[in-house]
Amino acid sequence: MINISNIHKTYITGNNKLHVLKGIDLKVEAGEMISVMGASGSGKSTLLNILGILDNHDHGEYLLSGIKIEHLNERKAAQLRNKYLGFVFQSFNLVSFKNAAENVALPLYYQNVKRKKRNLIAMEYLDRMGLKEWAHHLPNELSGGQKQRVAIARALIGKPKVILADEPTGALDSVTSQEVMDILTDINKNENITMLIVTHELDIARRTQKTIRITDGLITEIVKN
């Protein structure tokens, strides 16, 4: 599903060059659930952003579901993100003035699905997250766990091939964290969606099939859980 080789990324700020990724090779099969660990500044988030086509890499090759990701214009990148990828963020990133259902429906809005239809689908996904009664609440009326479940529903609604989660439990307490992980594991198992989870919590990483450790821009360890 994901096939990257020799990925390099350097950030240039003024006169400073920061070589963040120094040649990453990684193969993720369809349906795999992988966690990425590493100290802050190790490059794990950068890797996730490149995989999410939110950022571009300097060297190397990236194949997403067989499509070569290289020199894409923003329009093409947006369409690929919409079609193949679902994002779950640490800070949820819900749109504040849209209610839960509208937030979930957002990816379908960008696919020009009619409002009525996409809201109906959104309700389905919210129902699966156990949030049907909260569909018409604004994000600031929801708890952290609820927000993350809305965000997961939003990531799922576009039927992505890969879900990229950047510290999905970073802002949640341990009980809620486990609930969110339950959901993610379920989705991985039942819908065969490939999943990459960046985390620094060991008990979160243990719930995935494989843990990749990144140190100073290189993969140093791959552990099967």
Partner 1 sequence: MFDLDRWQEIYHVLRKNKLRTFLTAFGVFWGIFMLVIMMGSGDGLKNGVSQNFGDMATNSVFIWAQQTSVPYKGFTRGRQFYYENADVRALGEAIPEIKYLAPRTNVGGFNGASNVIRGLKSGGFQIFGDYPVFDSIDPVNLLQGRFINEIDIKEKRKVAVIGVRVKELLFEKNENPINQYIQVNGVYFNVVGMFKSKRTGEAASNDNQRIHMPFTTCQKTFNMGDAIGFFNITSKDGIPVAVVEEKAIRVLKKRHSVAPSDDAAIGHFNLEVEYKKMVGLFFGIKVLVWIVGIGTLFAGVIGVSNIMLVVVKERTKEIGIQRALGATPWIIISQIITESVVLTTFSGYFGLTLGVGLLELINYLLESSGAGTEMFLHPGINFSVAVIALAILVVAGAVAGLIPARKAVSVKPIDALRYE
Q: Contacting partner 1 (CB under 8 A), which of 16, 40, 96, 190?
A: 96
Beta bridge partners of 212: 36, 222
Q: Is 83 in the site for partner 1 (CB under 8 A)?
A: yes
x/- track of binding to partner 1 for residues 40-59 (CB under 8 A): ---------x--x-xx----
Q: Is 67 in the site for partner 1 (CB under 8 A)?
A: no
Q: Is 128 in the site for partner 1 (CB under 8 A)?
A: no
Beta bridge partners of 224: 210
Angstrom distance (rounded) from CA 122 to CA 109: 11
From the CB of 8, what's the least distance to partner 1, in Å? 17
Angstrom distance (rounded) from CA 44 to CA 40: 8
Q: Is 147 in the site for partner 1 (CB under 8 A)?
A: no
Q: By C-alpha distance, which of 180, 173, 176, 152 is closest to 164?
A: 152
* Three-state secondary structure call for residue 162: strand
Q: Contacting partner 1 (CB under 8 A), which of 109, 128, 176, 209?
A: 109
Beta bridge partners of 61: 5
Q: How far is CA 212 from CA 27, 56, 147, 192, in A?
A: 11, 21, 27, 20
Tell me whether strands 16-28 and 2-13 are parallel, antiparallel or unpaired: antiparallel
From the CB of 97, what's the least distance to partner 1, in Å? 4
Question: Residue 154 or residue 207: which is nearer to partner 1 going by CB?
Answer: 154
Q: Contacting partner 1 (CB under 8 A), which of 3, 10, 65, 79?
A: 79
Tokens representing 78 are 């947006």
Question: Residue 12 or residue 175: which is nearer to partner 1 going by CB?
Answer: 12
Q: Is 13 in the site for partner 1 (CB under 8 A)?
A: no
118: DSSP letter = H
Q: Is 217 in the site for partner 1 (CB under 8 A)?
A: no
What is the biggest distance separating any 2 CA atoms in the chain, rounded to whole angstroms? 53
Q: Which residues bind partner 1 (CB under 8 A)?
A: 49, 52, 54-55, 74-75, 77-79, 81-83, 87, 89, 93-98, 102, 106-107, 109-111, 115, 154, 158
